[in-house]
Structure 1
């Protein structure tokens, strides 16, 4: 129990502080204790939803984090938390509403505090571009993993083995993502088609840029050894953009639960902190090496999330379905790993 507590102590403390803040925010807006309790309940629901939607994110974070130096691991857990909690859950929505409504961030903050319904309406109006951008980035992440040439460990071999062979084709993941974007753009209303395509292309460009920076930092010239600190900078950047892509849909989807930006920030921020704690536990305990198919399940879940983000621009898909599908792939890959371990226990 004490061993587990060392991973979750900070997350539990933040959840207590967040719960207190959520209660007083709800009481302030409603003027009643019941309103405060309702806000506390909504923040808790958002936290649970964020954790369920982001467990695959924690697995991918752990895959990258274990390659980083201890210094950059700590920075991911400090700077990264600040970026995830305050940057993506507070600053990003304010900037987005500011751009859409032509407001400066302060005016956007005032609108969020005094006119939450109007603020939520503006935020939701940007759903198509956000979903296309985040979905394209996440699809690139998933496809890059499955199209990796020479990949010899397969969970669902009938699917993964042929896909790995296609990885010999240069930039095949870009072609597949572009085709997917084009297909889904055909289902958009006329004035959203170009927005969807352009945002999706920018998602692809962002992935290529981040991946390229990481490759550059991890590739020493002929006279140098690999600088792990430089390589860790590229991995840190990759993780932050990945986290941002995961949070896009969650931030927009949260407005279906409440239109109060501050409750959303608290709920999703607490959830993001727990995801960080899960990440560290996975790295420290070597869970990824112990369960050989867990990575596969996480990347399947990311691919499914990308498709759901695209489909969500056409028809609303409840976040519960998204969370359950992701959890199902993670659970099945874990069970398959346990079964494989038992079968090969003697060897």
Structure 2
């Protein structure tokens, strides 16, 4: 398997390193335990002669060969502290050249993988239009606004699609590498996972901070504040709209445009977040926690937690220990 890692100036140090380390480990273990099959030939290239990481380290890169046709091209994240900084970086000449090159590779049949903020670079090509995708959950509202044609689901960690695969935040680079290795050999991917004491994660949901997402839009922020004050009373779209001095239809449209979900779904996100916080306190039993977040019984809350987080009450509590 020929893999090209496209490193751009300001690349996320850990994202680039963990990607290269995962494939290096796979290559070593394949040679040692699996007779050298499958092979992983990894090349790090760039549209610049010199590349520095976000922490200022120099990355040894090779120039892009016009005739190259890798099996996979991986786009690690570039670091930006704000959406505005990220969007400015997307207009850099080297990034625009990289976007053009990704289109050429895709036209030749190469599959493309991107993680975290690297998904923005991939989305800029238009290749993700009408495709399912994920991204770093913290910038999901801005991704959704910039790329409305992409079917975004930031709750998922890995999302395969016709042109390749996307992965979520930060350490999603490792999930991305393991997923690609698994396509070549599930057995080898399992061995690499054990050596790196890591495994594929299906969801970003346990890591999402609802308040952070609300900061992307003034109306959503006001809705979030109202919701937190009314968790015990339960959700009413009419009451929420009235408190925000807007119509129910406008609130629904705004939630869908910014969050990709209904007002009720976001209200339930806040319930889950608050319930997780209360589960950290051993003195709170599940029935009292259910009452605190507006449910009549603990069974309903258990179902919500299992559906949203993929974990039960005991597992959630164990994660805090």
- Structure with the larger RCO, 1 or 2 (CA within 8 Å, 6+ apart): 1
**For the superposition of Structure 1 and Structure 2, which TM-score range results when normalised by the shorter chain?**
under 0.3
Structure having the higher strand fraction is 2
Structure having the higher helix fraction is 1
Give the TM-score, by structure 2 length.
Answer: 0.22
Give the TM-score, by structure 1 length.
Answer: 0.20
